[in-house]
Chain A
Amino acid sequence: MAEYKINAAHLYGDLMNTYGDFGNIVALRYYAQKIGVVVEQHIVSLEDDFDAEDYDFVLFGGGQDYEQMIVAEDLPKKAVALKAYIEDDGPFLGVCGGFQLIGQYFILADGTKVKGIGALSHYTLNQPDSRFIGNVTIKDEVNGLEYHGFENHQGRTFLGDNERPLGEIIKGNGNNGEDGGEGLVYKNAYGTYFHGPILTRNGNLALHMLQLILDRKYPQVDWQQKIATITPEFF
């Protein structure tokens, strides 16, 4: 039994799994292991209860339209707990569909409007017969770091007043191709259109996420010092 353990919830991990988003958990597990922390992954899917108390990290990935519609129908059952988790500084990473679904609503390619859980205030419009596809580079204005990823999305997301983008676009389209922002940060919740996956390609961001998780769960330990011993990976 490991002394320190991270319980990671992979929300609808068996349905929203199109672009290797699980790699984010692989990256966290890899870095955590280096400082003696175990990461245990749990799929929380249709029929399963989501109890915010059980988890230290939540990953919500992207999926195909069909699966995303089924997930959107189930999500209200988990909405209250998920919203409480985010408000309580719970570390969260939503990618693509998972990023859209925690917002107010999104509009599918065919014009269908699908309600999100409204945990956060952003919303997503469609773009007729077009997609943003390609490599993306952004700059995180808070720490000056550059992040690399690959975007592939039809939705155009607009942030609310209380949300800030994860980074400013250097190359690529980002949230909507208009305002120069990519992703979102609200408390310890992160949203992004980056596949790649983001935490595998951007070691510094993975270590930052790891620290958020561990500081919240085990505040008595000096995690910053331990994490400083890890060499992050980039590609």
Chain B
Amino acid sequence: MSLKSGLATFVGKSTYTLLHGVLHRGGTSLPGKLATKIDPDVMKNYAEKYDVILITGTNGKTLTTTLTTRVLREKYADVITNPSGSNMMQGITGTMLTAKLQDKTQRPIALLEVDEANVESVARQLKPKAFVLTNIFRDQLDRYGEIYTTYEKILKGIRLFPEATVIANADSPIFMRGDLPNPKVYFGFNHLQTTNSMRAPHNTDGVLSPTDNSVLRYHFITFGNQGDYFSVTDDFKRPALDYAVTSLNKLTPISSNFDIDGVTYQIEIGGMYNIYNALAAYAVGRFMGVSAEQIQHAFSSNAQIFGRQESVKVKDKEVTIVLIKNPVGANQVIDMMKTDDQPFSMLALLNANYADGIDTSWIWDADFESLHDTGIQAVATGGERYKDLYVRLKMAGFGDHPVYQDLQQIVPAIASMPTKRVYILATYTAMLQLRATLKQQGYINTGMGD
């Protein structure tokens, strides 16, 4: 280690100790920030010491990282990982600098969630053994950031290490672009045996064939543009899967029971997208030599998994609060609500501040119409842009319904819903306002992420 690196490491570690040991404050970004100021390449010193696995993609990084950490800890004593939100250069540097290892005899693993735009810079220093690619969906907040541009950023990091294994969601066609020489491990869904040939729905992004830019056909679609795709204009098709979900046994809003390669697993969280996250964790586990039994154990351990949803009791209502921000995410929530076997109501809250995305047009691409096939009994709309959602749901066939512009009225609004179960879908700042009101009135007592 050079003198500069040594100093950088010392400053990073001391700052961490000061923050945690003395001031009892969390976070790894400040130690990382100070250390990288002294030596931008300080992380290089850790490349040889760890087996490094980077997890990236636009959605599902955090949950995939959480589940994979659990899976790897079944076999490995030292698996270090970064806290959610610390997925850029400084946060990752802080994580590496301040890690405490237990077992000096076994090679430690660094399992890191990395922001797409930081893959290249992080990979350059840490020389990953594997890259895990979850998916790429276009985000509401970055509407002219194209999915192809995002993928190109990830590719820049992978191209530095042609010997690293790429563990990719093969159901996402974009990952077949780029012609990488790397060894690959593919995971995806094979729960349906069908020879159907269909196109994705009109509101789906990324349906062009990687080989000739024709519109892809699908034998089946899981959600979004993901599924068993093929091209009708040449012989391109989804590659053979190394690890596949072979059956969906029982899906509820709070749990998912499914088979991977014929063995049954359960996770205590609902939503198809979370099965993809579990499948990614499984693929990484198998790649690292963790057995199916160990993975079963890791998935079934009782620790609650924190996804993007939260359960709250408000008077006699069982309320599930879910963040929505774009059509793909909203459709996943709608699909999750469909797995509820009890009647339910939906309260949808829309704001259009900068953090929500100032353009509300995306609500027209969310498939609210498909809720008619479910146990939905009533809808209501609210938030600063309640009018947009009011008309959206009216035109989706839900008729005239209550509106709540002022989220101070949210508790009576929830109480007046006709069912015990209530789903609240909210954009980011509407969610903050909602939680503030619920906290103020004593229905929740923690901050988000506490």
Residue ranges of A at the interface with B (Cβ–Cβ < 8 Å): 10, 13-15, 17-23, 26-27, 29-30, 41, 43, 45-47, 64-67, 70, 131, 133-134, 150, 152, 154, 195-197, 200-201, 233, 235
Contacts and interface: CB of A to CB of B under 8 A. Distances in A.
B215 A200 contact: no
Contacts of A23: 361, 364-365, 392, 395
B215 A47 contact: yes
B200 A14 contact: yes
Given A14-B199, A46-B215, A70-B208, A19 B395 contact: no
Interface string B52-68: 00000000000000000
A-B pairs, 9 with minimum CB distance: A23-B364, A20-B364, A20-B361, A235-B387, A13-B202, A195-B361, A30-B395, A19-B361, A64-B146
A197 B359 contact: no
A195 B364 CA distance: 10
Given A19-B143, A64-B138, 12 more contacts: A20-B327, A20-B363, A22-B202, A23-B364, A26-B395, A29-B395, A30-B394, A65-B146, A131-B144, A150-B358, A150-B361, A235-B388
Nearest to A43: B202
Contacts of A196: 360-361
Contacts of B233: 47
A146 B392 CA distance: 20
A50 B215 CA distance: 16
A133 B361 CA distance: 13
B213 A17 contact: no
Interface string B319-360: 000000001000000000000000000000000000000111
Contacts of B214: 46-47
A15 B207 contact: yes
B215 A233 contact: no
8 contacts: A19-B143, A19-B362, A20-B362, A45-B215, A64-B144, A67-B208, A70-B208, A134-B358
A152 B362 CA distance: 13
A197 B208 contact: no
Contacts of B144: 64, 131, 154
A14 B362 CA distance: 15
Nearest to A64: B146
B213 A70 contact: yes
B137 interface: no
B205 interface: yes
